[in-house]
C-alpha cells in the first residue's frame, strides 16, 4: 500500500527482514541505538491504515480508542483502559513495536491481538506455575503451553493489544534532559530525556552546542530543553531539535525552568506587551482608573529589560504605567447593594496578595420577628474590569489559572488587576458579587440574595489569626496581635464575627458530611525559605529551603472552605436554572470501580472493613479510624492516600455537552450542582461563571457563549489546572530534594501502602510523600519471600536480614550489591469449575496447611533474622539525595520482627 495524505499512518506488528534502501545509514543509526548503546534487532514494516478503516473499526468494535499510559519504571509496559469496562483488566501493550511510536498520554486506536498472545494475570502466576503448565517468566504468554488457550478462563488473563494509530497527540512533545555524543554516528547526537517514558531522541549534529564534540564532558551537567519533531515509521528513535540550555541540573532555578517550560506555563508579564496591556488600560480609564509612571528601576535591571525589549519588542520599565488612583463610578452605587458599613474582612494565607473573597456575619430579625443570622460571602467582581473581547481576557483564558510554586506565583491576570483593582485589600472600597443568606441558629437557610455589591474590608486576617481566635475564644487580643483594623471597627467585633462564623460553619460542615461529602484531608508540605549565598558570599535572588514542615488544615481553613462551597453550590443551581445547556459547572465522577474494589478487598484481608455503598458510608468508614489514636497516625492517613488513587479528577464542563443532570453529580462533595465562583482572580472558569451570573441577573446582556465555546474553555481549563497541579507538586519535590541535598538526607517513619514482588510503596507520614523502595538495592537482604502465608491472608513480604541490621544509622545503596533471590509464594488457590476441586482431599486442615508450603528457610528464621511487611506495616526509611541532582531515593532501615515498629513510633515521629 502506497503512502497517502490520510491522517493515520502506523506500523503493523508483522516483521520485515529488510529496510528500504533510502537513508539506509540513518536507519542503521536508529537500530543501533538503545539505552545501553548496544545493537538491537528490531525490524518493522510500515503499513498505512486509512482514516475510513479506523472509523469503521471504531464503529464495529474491532478497534478501540483510549489514552496510552506508559509504566515509568518499565517502559516496555503500556496500558489502555479495557473497552469492556472498569471491572476488567487493562489492555497490555508490550514493547516498542506494539506501542507504535505513541507517547504517554496520547489518544490512540488499538486492536486486540489474538488470544494466544494474551498473558496470564500476575495474581494467578504461582497457581499455574505449580501445576507445571507455564515456564517461570516475567510474562506468561498462554501460547507457551500447548492446548492452554481453552483451559485458562479470560478473567485470569490480560488481553494484549497493538496501537494501530495515534488519534490525537496529547502528550507533550517538549522534553527536558541531557545530551550525549553518539560514538557510532557523526550525523546525530543523543538527547536523553529525564522522563523515562519518553524515548531517546536523535538530534542533527549541526544543532549541537559549540564545542560539544571536542569537550562532551563539559556539557554533561546541563539540563536542556528539546522538541520532538518527527518519528519516521521505520526508525526506533524519534528525531528532534535542541531549544535551550536551562542551566545546571540539580540547581533549583534550572529545575524550575525545566518544569515550567515542559508544562507550557506562560511566564510573560502582561505589562510588557503593548498589544495586550494598552486596550486593557484604555477600558480601565473609561471606568475611572488613573495611571501614572512607574518608579524607574536601578540601572542594571533597566538595562536587562531594554535588552529583552530589543529581542521581543517589549516595553521598558520607563514606559510602564501603574494604577495611582481609582474611585468607584457613581453609576455603580445606583444598582449595587452597599455593604460598606458592615464588619467585613478577609481570611487568607499570611503572604497572600490576591484577595478573592471576604466574609461578614451579623444578627438580624426576619419579617416575623425571628432572630437569625445574616451571613455574607463577597467575591471580587473581576468580570467588571475584564470584558470578554479584550486581548488580556484571551491571555487569561489561555493561562487558565495562577500557577503556584514553592517560592513564587505566576499570576493569571495582570498585576494591576490581581494585586490592586480586584483584590479586596483592607481599607479600600471594592466591587464584588455577593451571596447573602439568612440562617437560623442551626445553620438552616431561610432565604438568600445574590447580586452585585460594594464592600470595604476592614482587615486582612491570616488563617493563623483566625485560628488563634477560635482556639482562645475568651482571650482579649491586643492591637499588635492582629493586623491593622480600619474604619473604627473594634477588635472585639472581628473576634465575635470569627467565632459566630465558626459556629455556623461547623453545622454546615456536619450537614455536608451527613449528605455524603468525603473528607480528602491530605496534609501539605511547606517550606521555610531563605536567599542563597553566591560564590562571593553575597545573597542572590535564588531561594533555598531552610526548613520544612507538614501543614495540617485547621478549623480556620474549614470555616472559609464551607462558605465558599456553599456559595459555589448556590451559583451552580442559579446558572443551571437560567441557562440550562450553557452553564459552566464542575463535576466529580464516581470512583474507578476496579481500583475501589481492589482497595476494599485489600483492606478487608487486613481486618479493615470499609463500606463503599455510597460516598457517605465510605467517608464514615474512614473517619472511624481517624477517631482512634493508634490508627490516626497509621491506617487513617494511608486510607486517605489509597482512596485518592481510586478517584478521577474533578472536571469543568458545559451542561450542553452531557446527557443530563445525572451527569452533573459531584461525588466528592455529594451534591448535584457545583461550580467555581469564588476565586476569579486566580481561575478563569470563575470569570466565565461571573459573566453568566451577571447575565442571569440582567446586569449585562447575555454573553452569547455557545455550547462549543464553553466546551472549549472547560477543556482548556482542565488542562491548565492539571499542569498547574503538576508544577506545584514537582516544585515541592524539587525543594524537598534540595533540602535533602543540603542536609545529607534524613530518616523518616512511613506506612507501607502497596507490596510488589521486588519493591514496596511507603507513605512518609510526616511529609505526605509516597516513595518506592526497591528491594534489590537493599544491602542487608539475603533472600525475599513474596506471597501469602495463609490462604485468606494478605500479600506479604518476608525479608531475610543479614548482619548489616546492626548498622541502622545509614543504609546506602551499594552499586555492587549481590543478586538477591526472590521466592514467589502461592497467591491464589481458586480452582476453575472446569477442572473440579483439586484440593478436595485437604478439607478440614488449617489455613496454613490448605494453602500450601512456605519455604523451609522461611520456617526456620528466627524473629531477629527477618522482617515481615504487610500493607499498613510501620517502617523506618532513610531518604538519600542522588548525587548532583535534586532527586532522591528511599531505602529501608531494617527493624527485625523481634522489635517491630508500632503506631507509637509513628506518633513520636510526627511530634518531633
pLDDT tens profile 410-425? 999 999 999 999 999 9
Does some domain include residue 235? no
DSSP string, 94-152: ESHHHHTT--TT-EEEEEEPPGGG-EE-GGGHHHHHHTT-S---SS-BGGGSTT-TTTS
pLDDT (average), residues 589-614:
92
Residues 503 and 629 in one domain: no
Asked if residue 303 has pLDDT above 50, the reply is no
> Hey, which of 53-67, 188-202, 219-233, 335-349 has the most confident mean pLDDT?
335-349
Residues 409 and 369 in one domain: yes
pLDDT (average), residues 679-708:
95
Residues 87 and 34 in one domain: yes
Q: Residue 854 belongs to a domain with what CATH number?
A: 2.40.50.140
Q: Which three cell numbers stand for residue 28?
A: 542503521
Q: Please give the pLDDT value at position 307.
A: 40
432/338 Cα distance (integer angstroms): 10
Closest C-alpha among 775, 756, 767, 829 to residue 602: 756
Does some domain include residue 140? yes
Residues 758 and 901 in one domain: yes
Place 150 in a pLDDT band, splitting at 50, 70 and 90. Answer: low
Share of the chain above pLDDT 70, in %: 81
pLDDT tens profile 445-470? 999 999 999 999 999 999 999 999 99
Specify the higher pLDDT residue, 261 or 306: 261
- Which range (64-78, 283-297, 314-328) has the least confidence? 314-328
Question: Pick from 104, 138, 168: which residue ends a domain?
Answer: 168
Does some domain include residue 657? no
Place 9 in a pLDDT band, splitting at 50, 70 and 90. Answer: very low
639/662 Cα distance (integer angstroms): 28
> Hey, which of 130-139, 527-536, 894-903 has the most confident mean pLDDT?
894-903
Question: Pick from 142, 168, 194: which residue ends a domain?
Answer: 168
Question: How many C-beta atoms lie closer than 10 Å to residue 610's C-beta?
Answer: 21
Specify the higher pLDDT residue, 680 or 818: 680
Does some domain include residue 231? no
Does some domain include residue 345? yes
Specify the higher pLDDT residue, 571 or 94: 571
Does some domain include residue 261? no
Strands 459-462 and 345-348: parallel
- Residue whose C-alpha cell reads 473609561 in the numeric block: 286
Asked if residue 666 has pLDDT above 90, the reply is yes
Strands 781-787 and 821-824: parallel
**Which residues, in sequence order, are CB contacts of 115 under 8 Å at separation 6+?**
142, 149, 157
DSSP string, 713-732: HHHHHHHHHHHHHHHHHHHH
Closest C-alpha among 386, 452, 395 to residue 417: 386
Place 552 in a pLDDT band, splitting at 50, 70 and 90. Answer: confident
Look at the chain and report how many structural domains it folds into.
Answer: 4
pLDDT (average), residues 144-149:
52
Residues 696 and 822 in one domain: no
Q: Please give the pLDDT value at position 756.
A: 87
Q: Please give the pLDDT value at position 591.
A: 94
The pTM of the full predicted model, rounded to 2 decimals, is 0.85
Mean pLDDT of the chain: 84
Q: Which domain holds residue 430?
A: 327-525+551-581+674-729
Place 54 in a pLDDT band, splitting at 50, 70 and 90. Answer: confident
Does some domain include residue 83? yes
Residues 347 and 408 in one domain: yes
Specify the higher pLDDT residue, 542 or 635: 635
Does some domain include residue 214? no
Q: Please give the pLDDT value at position 186.
A: 78
Residues 620 and 709 in one domain: no
DSSP string, 676-694: --S-TTTBHHHHHHHHHHH
Residues 626 and 686 in one domain: no
Residues 451 and 574 in one domain: yes
- 8 A C-beta contact, residue 107 and residue 69: no
Residues 721 and 814 in one domain: no
Q: Residue 133 belongs to a domain with what CATH number?
A: 2.40.50.690
pLDDT tens profile 352-387? 999 999 999 999 998 888 899 999 999 999 999 999
pLDDT tens profile 214-239? 899 999 999 999 999 999 887 889 99
Residues 393 and 485 in one domain: yes
Q: Please give the pLDDT value at position 876.
A: 98
Q: Please give the pLDDT value at position 483.
A: 95
In degrees rounded to 5, what are phi and psi of residue 135? -70, 155
- 8 A C-beta contact, residue 558 and residue 368: no
Q: Please give the pLDDT value at position 141.
A: 59
Asked if residue 534 has pLDDT above 90, the reply is no
Q: Please give the pLDDT value at position 610.
A: 95
Q: Please give the pLDDT value at position 140.
A: 52
**Which residues, in sequence order, are CB contacts of 37 under 8 Å at separation 6+?**
183, 184
690/380 Cα distance (integer angstroms): 10
Q: Classify residue 467 by its DSSP letter.
A: H
489/491 Cα distance (integer angstroms): 7
Q: Which three-class secondary structure string do you get for 365-424?
A: ECCCCCEEEEEEEEEECHHHHCCCCCHHHHHHHHHCECEECCCCEECCCCHHHHHHHCCC
Strands 403-404 and 119-120: unpaired
Specify the higher pLDDT residue, 803 or 273: 273
Question: Pick from 168, 198, 213: which residue ends a domain?
Answer: 168
Q: Please give the pLDDT value at position 899.
A: 95
Place 136 in a pLDDT band, splitting at 50, 70 and 90. Answer: very low
644/647 Cα distance (integer angstroms): 5
3-state secondary structure of 352: coil
Residues 760 and 711 in one domain: no
Amino acid at each position: 500500500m502506497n503512502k497517502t495524505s490520510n491522517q493515520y499512518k502506523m506500523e503493523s506488528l508483522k516483521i520485515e527482514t529488510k529496510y528500504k534502501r533510502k537513508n539506509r545509514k540513518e536507519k542503521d543509526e536508529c537500530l543501533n541505538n538503545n539505552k545501553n548503546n548496544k545493537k538491537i534487532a528490531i525490524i518493522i514494516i510500515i503499513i498505512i491504515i486509512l482514516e475510513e478503516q479506523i472509523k469503521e473499526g471504531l464503529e464495529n468494535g474491532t478497534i478501540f480508542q483510549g489514552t496510552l499510559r506508559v509504566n515509568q519504571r518499565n517502559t516496555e509496559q503500556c496500558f489502555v483502559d479495557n473497552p469492556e469496562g472498569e471491572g476488567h483488566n487493562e489492555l497490555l501493550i508490550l514493547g516498542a513495536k506494539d506501542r507504535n511510536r505513541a507517547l504517554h498520554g496520547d489518544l490512540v486506536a488499538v486492536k486486540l491481538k489474538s488470544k494466544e498472545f494474551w498473558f496470564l494475570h500476575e495474581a494467578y502466576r504461582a497457581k499455574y506455575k505449580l501445576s507445571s503448565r507455564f515456564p517461570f517468566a516475567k510474562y506468561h504468554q498462554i501460547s507457551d503451553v500447548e492446548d492452554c488457550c481453552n483451559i485458562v478462563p479470560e478473567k485470569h488473563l490480560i488481553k494484549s493489544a497493538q496501537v494501530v494509530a495515534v488519534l490525537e497527540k496529547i502528550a507533550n512533545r517538549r522534553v527536558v534532559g541531557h545530551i550525549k555524543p553518539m560514538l557510532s554516528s557523526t550525523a546525530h547526537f543523543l538527547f536523553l530525556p529525564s522522563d523515562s517514558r519518553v524515548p531517546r531522541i536523535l538530534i542533527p549534529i549541526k544543532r549541537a552546542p559549540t564545542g560539544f564534540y571536542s569537550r562532551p564532558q563539559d556539557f554533561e551537567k546541563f539540563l536542556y530543553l528539546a522538541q520532538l519533531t518527527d518519528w519516521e515509521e521505520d526508525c526506533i528513535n524519534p528525531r528532534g531539535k535542541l531549544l535551550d540550555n536551562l542551566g545546571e541540573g540539580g540547581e533549583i532555578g534550572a529545575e524550575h525552568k525545566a518544569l515550567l517550560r515542559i508544562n507550557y506555563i506562560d511566564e510573560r508579564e502582561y505589562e510588557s506587551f503593548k498589544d495586550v496591556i494598552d486596550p486593557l488600560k484604555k477600558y480601565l480609564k473609561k471606568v475611572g482608573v488613573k495611571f501614572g509612571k512607574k518608579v524607574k528601576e536601578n540601572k542594571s535591571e533597566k538595562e536587562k529589560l531594554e535588552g529583552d525589549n530589543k529581542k521581543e519588542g517589549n516595553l521598558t520599565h520607563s514606559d510602564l504605567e501603574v494604577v495611582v488612583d481609582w474611585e468607584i463610578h457613581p453609576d455603580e452605587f445606583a444598582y449595587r447593594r452597599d455593604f460598606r458599613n458592615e464588619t467585613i474582612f478577609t481570611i487568607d494565607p499570611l503572604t497572600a496578595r490576591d484577595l478573592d473573597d471576604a466574609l461578614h456575619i451579623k444578627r438580624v430579625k426576619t419579617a416575623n420577628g425571628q432572630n437569625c443570622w445574616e451571613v455574607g460571602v463577597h467575591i471580587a467582581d473581576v468580570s467588571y474590569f475584564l470584558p470578554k473581547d479584550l486581548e488580556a481576557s484571551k491571555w487569561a483564558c489561555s493561562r487558565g489559572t495562577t500557577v503556584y510554586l514553592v517560592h513564587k506565583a505566576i499570576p493569571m491576570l495582570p498585576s494591576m488587576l490581581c494585586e490592586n483593582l480586584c483584590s479586596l485589600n483592607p481599607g479600600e472600597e471594592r466591587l464584588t458579587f455577593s451571596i447573602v443568606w439568612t440562617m437560623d441558629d442551626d445553620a438552616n437557610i431561610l432565604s438568600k440574595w445574590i447580586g452585585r455589591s460594594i464592600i470595604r474590608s476592614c482587615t486582612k486576617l491570616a488563617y493563623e489569626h483566625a485560628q488563634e481566635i477560635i482556639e482562645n475564644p475568651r482571650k482579649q487580643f491586643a492591637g499588635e496581635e492582629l493586623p491593622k483594623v480600619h474604619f473604627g471597627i473594634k477588635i472585639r467585633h472581628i473576634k465575635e464575627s470569627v467565632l459566630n462564623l465558626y459556629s455556623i460553619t461547623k453545622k454546615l460542615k456536619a450537614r455536608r458530611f451527613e449528605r455524603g461529602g468525603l473528607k480528602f484531608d491530605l496534609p501539605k508540605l511547606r517550606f521555610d525559605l531563605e536567599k542563597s549565598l553566591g560564590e562571593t558570599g553575597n545573597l542572590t535572588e535564588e531561594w533555598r529551603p531552610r526548613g520544612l514542615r507538614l501543614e495540617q488544615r485547621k478549623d480556620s481553613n474549614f470555616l472559609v472552605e464551607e462558605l465558599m462551597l456553599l456559595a459555589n453550590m448556590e451559583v451552580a443551581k442559579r446558572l443551571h436554572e437560567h441557562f440550562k445547556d450553557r452553564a459552566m459547572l464542575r463535576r466529580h465522577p464516581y470512583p474507578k470501580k476496579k481500583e475501589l474494589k481492589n482497595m476494599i478487598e485489600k483492606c478487608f484481608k487486613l481486618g479493615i472493613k470499609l463500606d463503599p455503598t455510597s460516598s457517605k458510608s465510605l467517608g464514615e468508614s474512614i473517619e472511624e479510624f481517624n477517631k482512634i489514636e493508634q490508627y490516626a497516625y497509621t491506617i487513617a492517613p494511608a486510607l486517605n492516600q489509597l482512596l485518592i488513587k481510586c478517584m478521577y479528577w474533578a472536571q469543568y464542563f458545559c451542561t450542553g455537552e452531557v446527557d443530563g443532570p445525572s451527569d452533573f453529580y459531584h461525588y466528592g462533595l455529594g451534591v448535584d450542582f457545583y461550580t467555581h465562583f469564588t476565586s476569579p482572580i486566580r481561575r478563569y472558569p470563575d470569570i466565565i461563571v461571573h459573566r453568566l451570573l451577571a447575565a442571569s441577573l440582567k446586569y449585562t446582556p447575555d454573553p452569547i457563549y455557545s455550547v462549543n465555546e464553553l466546551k472549549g474553555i472547560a477543556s482548556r481549563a482542565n488542562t491548565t489546572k492539571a499542569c498547574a497541579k503538576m508544577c506545584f507538586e514537582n516544585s515541592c519535590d524539587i525543594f524537598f530534594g534540595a533540602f535533602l541535598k543540603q542536609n545529607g538526607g534524613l530518616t523518616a517513619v512511613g506506612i507501607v501502602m502497596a507490596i510488589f514482588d521486588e519493591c514496596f510503596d511507603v507513605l512518609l507520614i510526616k511529609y505526605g510523600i509516597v516513595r518506592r523502595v526497591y528491594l534489590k538495592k537493599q544491602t542487608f537482604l539475603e533472600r525475599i519471600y513474596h506471597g501469602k502465608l495463609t490462604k485468606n491472608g494478605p500479600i506479604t513480604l518476608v525479608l531475610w536480614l543479614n548482619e548489616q541490621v546492626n548498622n541502622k544509622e545509614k543504609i546506602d545503596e551499594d552499586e555492587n550489591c549481590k543478586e538477591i533471590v526472590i521466592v514467589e509464594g502461592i497467591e491464589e488457590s481458586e480452582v476453575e469449575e472446569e477442572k473440579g476441586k483439586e484440593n478436595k482431599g485437604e478439607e478440614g486442615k488449617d489455613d496454613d496447611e490448605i494453602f500450601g508450603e512456605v519455604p523451609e528457610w522461611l520456617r526456620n528464621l528466627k524473629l531477629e533474622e527477618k522482617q515481615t511487611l504487610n500493607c499498613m506495616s510501620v517502617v523506618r526509611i532513610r531518604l538519600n539525595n542522588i548525587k548532583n541532582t535534586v532527586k532522591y531515593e528511599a531505602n529501608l532501615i531494617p527493624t527485625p520482627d523481634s522489635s517491630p515498629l508500632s503506631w507509637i513510633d509513628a506518633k513520636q515521629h510526627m511530634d518531633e
